[in-house]
Amino acid sequence: MSSHPAARPDLLDEALAHGGPIVVFDKINLSFDDKVILRDVSFTLQTGHTKIFLGASGAGKSTILRLILGLLKPDSGTIFVNGERVDNMSEEQLMAVRADLGMVFQEGALFDSLSVRENVGYKLFEELQWPLDAANKRVAEVLGFIGLAEFIDRMPSELSGGQRRRVAIARAMAAKPRILLYDEPTTGLDPITSITVDEEIIKLRDLENVSSVLVTHQLRDAFYVAEHTAIRQAQQLTFKKAEQHKASEAEFIMLKDGRIAFEGNAQELRAISEADPYIEAFLS
């Protein structure tokens, strides 16, 4: 699980090693007709770290994920993903950038007509043209990783909401991307299932060194992902409270009216909430 399909030049690889700037937003502005979605948004996601976007509905959180993927173009500003400027790329050029990105959509967005195996292995079978044996092996491996190996031949309609989200995570991680984007992965799920999904996000970040951007308004999940870590010892996987230096690798960004209202770690967010009525209202 260590090799990535999208090869990078050695120098870039070195620059984007753990802690390097893998996603950079610089003064991004975006409007739809007269409605301003994002105003002067700038942030940097470091390799192996997590950015957690909070904010009210319509604050522009999901738009940020679509900008990273190149599904939307900003009106102004620059976006770098994996060392490449993507805001001015054509759809064809973006396909190469997307090889190193995985996205978990809000409701999973699984392909209804394909089985779990075909959904999870879609990119391997259709785009990367992996040999069938290798692709099947990888599909079984990622389904095992998320604990759904026995569901491989089911259709998406036969899965529960939580299982669909986990299959969506498996599909996003199948091609071993360096960056994973999660759009409200736990919305509408019960607390127990939400924790299972949160733990998948933590596992990918801590065991696979995947950089993640998480959009949510489920505060409990946001803090759980930020403040927990996954440790594998002698084939035993455990989740425990992260130490301060590890917890500070997860940064919160709160959006308000298209602007960044707060940026900092979980501890700083809790501290500022007492002084800022908007954040206090949001966190309560």
Contact positions vs other proteins (CB under 8 A): 66, 69, 71, 91-92, 95, 98-99, 101-103, 105-107, 109-112, 122-123, 126-127, 171
Q: How many residues does the chain have?
A: 284
Q: Smallest distance from the beta carbon of 182 to other proteins, in angstroms? A: 12
Q: Which is nearer to other proteins, 95 or 231 (CB)?
A: 95
Question: How are beta strands 50-55 and 250-256 bridged, if at all?
Answer: parallel
| Residue 54 Rama label (left phi>0; alpha psi -120 to 50; beta) | beta
Min dist CB 131 to other proteins, Å, is: 17
Per-residue tokens: 141:
């491996």
Residue 109 class from Cβ within 10 Å (0-12 exposed, 13-18 middle, 19+ buried)? middle
- Residue 90 burial (CB count, 10 A): 8
At closest approach, how far in Å is the CB of 170 from other proteins? 13
Residue 137 tokens read as 């092996």
Q: Smaller CB distance to other proteins: residue 105 or 151?
A: 105
Nearer to other proteins, 57 or 284 (CB): 57
Least separation in angstroms between CB 127 and other proteins? 5
**How far is Cα 41 from Cα 28, in angstroms, rounded to an integer?**
5
- How far is the C-alpha of 154 from the C-alpha of 14, rounded, in Å? 41
Q: For residue 180, what are the contacts with CB-CB under 8 A and spacing of at least 6?
A: 101, 102, 103, 104, 169, 172, 173, 201, 204, 210, 211, 212, 213
Minimum distance of other proteins from residue 6's CB (angstroms): 10
Query: Is 112 or 133 the residue whose CB approaches other proteins more closely?
Result: 112
Q: How far is the CB of 98 from other proteins (least distance, A)?
A: 5
Q: With respect to other proteins, which residue has the nearer C-beta, 71 or 231?
A: 71
Closest CA to 69 of 57, 81, 53: 81
| CB of 42 or CB of 88, closer to other proteins | 88
Tell me whether residue 69 or residue 279 sits nearer to other proteins (CB atom).
Answer: 69
In angstroms, give the least distance from the CB of 229 to other proteins. 28
**C-alpha separations of 194 from 108, 189, 216 in Å:** 14, 6, 12
Nearer to other proteins, 109 or 261 (CB): 109
At its nearest, how many Å lie between other proteins and the CB of residue 100? 10
What is the C-alpha separation between 116 and 90, in angstroms, rounded?
31
